Amino acid sequence: MQAWTDLVLILVILTNLALAGLSSFGTCVRVLAFQGVLLGLVTVGVQQGDLSLHTLVLVAGIVAIKGLVFPRLLLRAVREAGVRHEVEPFIGFATSLLIGTLALPLAMWLTSHLPRVGPAVPPLLIPTAFHAILIGLLLIVSRRKAVTQVLGYLALENGIFIFGVGLVRQATLLVEMGILLDVFVAVFVMGIAIFHISREFDHIDTDRLSLLKE
């Protein structure tokens, strides 16, 4: 069981790296959808066998929302914005990938300095969570298009989710439902915002929104 969970976590890290290095919105959204499915698996793996009904409902919810609903919404937003690729990011794709790789040891180092969460938590869980958060922040900071920033936000949210799975393994339903709702609203709002920004300004370059700073 442990080995399977570790494998899933490694896959999450790889998807993170893919997010950092890919330029096509469509692919990124699909990678994120895959990551959503992986999160469901992580939740199962962390439970170590004793699967309750509520865990199953939670997993189904995660997979449905992160794996199906969000991607559909985002793909629609991408289609309507009429932009397919991230262009000229502040930090190039290769550099992003490099930073993403370096973020992994940083995440490991951070974890090693944190108090131990307990023997039952897989050792890779917390580093993966940190890594996802760092990648999310990286995407938000380094990309121009609003769509990528939404993706970064979702990656960051996934990281927090993994963190939550590791820390509160029981009675998570309420917390997780809260998080899912948050994200759902956030994506909804951002989707609408992107749509409207692109309609008003003919582009979704957030750096060119600096006119609004006054």
Partner 1 sequence: MNTLLVVVGAGLIASGGLLALLASRWPRWATGIASGTTVLGCGLGLVPALRVLLGATGEEVRLRWSVPNGDFLVAMDALSAFFLVAIFSLCALAAIYGVEYLQTYRKHKSLGPPWFFFNMLVASMVLVVIARNAVLFLVAWEIMSLASFFLVTFEHEDEGVGRAGWTYLVATHLGTAFLLALFVLLGEGSGSMDFVGFGLAEHPVPRHASLLFVLAVVGFGTKAGFVPFHVWLPEAHPAAPSHVSAVMSGVMIKTGIYGLLRTLTFLGTPPAWWGWLLIAIGLVSGILGVLFALAQHDLKRLLAYHSVENIGIIALGVGVGLLGLSLQSAPMIVLGFGGGLLHVLNHACFKGLLFLGAGAVLHGAGTREIDHLGGLLRRMPWTGWTFLVGAAAISGLPPLNGFVSELLVYLGGLEGVRSASTSHMPILVSVVAGLALIGGLAMACFAKAFGIVFLGEPRSSKAANSHECGWCMRLPMVILAMACAAIGVLGPLMVRLLVPVIALVTGMPDEGVRATTASPCTILGAVVGASVALLLLTVGLVILRKWLLSGQTVSRTVTWDCGYAQPTPRMQYTASSFAQPLTRFFQAFLRPRISLVRPVDTFPASASLATHTDDVFREKVYSPVFRGVARVVSGLRWFQHGRVQIYVLYIALTLLALLLWKLD
Which residue from 43, 142, 158, 198 is in contact with partner 1, where contact means CB under 8 A? 142
Which residue from 113, 118, 171, 202 is in contact with partner 1, where contact means CB under 8 A? 113
Q: CB of residue 114 vs partner 1: minimum separation in angstroms?
A: 7
Binding of partner 1 at residue 11 (CB under 8 A)?
Answer: no
Which residue from 4, 90, 188, 201 is in contact with partner 1, where contact means CB under 8 A? 90
Which residue from 5, 16, 55, 149 is in contact with partner 1, where contact means CB under 8 A? 149
Residue 6: CB atoms within 10 Å:
16
Dihedral pair phi/psi, residue 118, rounded to 5°: 140, 155
Please, which of residues 193-212 interact with partner 1 by CB under 8 A? 206-207, 209-212
Structure tokens at 83: 């932009």
Which residue from 7, 99, 110, 179 is in contact with partner 1, where contact means CB under 8 A? 110
Distance CA 135, CA 100 (A): 6
Q: CB of residue 129 vs partner 1: minimum separation in angstroms?
A: 13
Closer residue to partner 1 (CB): 117 or 140: 140
Structure tokens at 140: 């938000």
Residue range at the interface with partner 1 (CB under 8 A); choices 3-11, 17-25, 45-53, 142-150: 142-150
Closer residue to partner 1 (CB): 171 or 212: 212
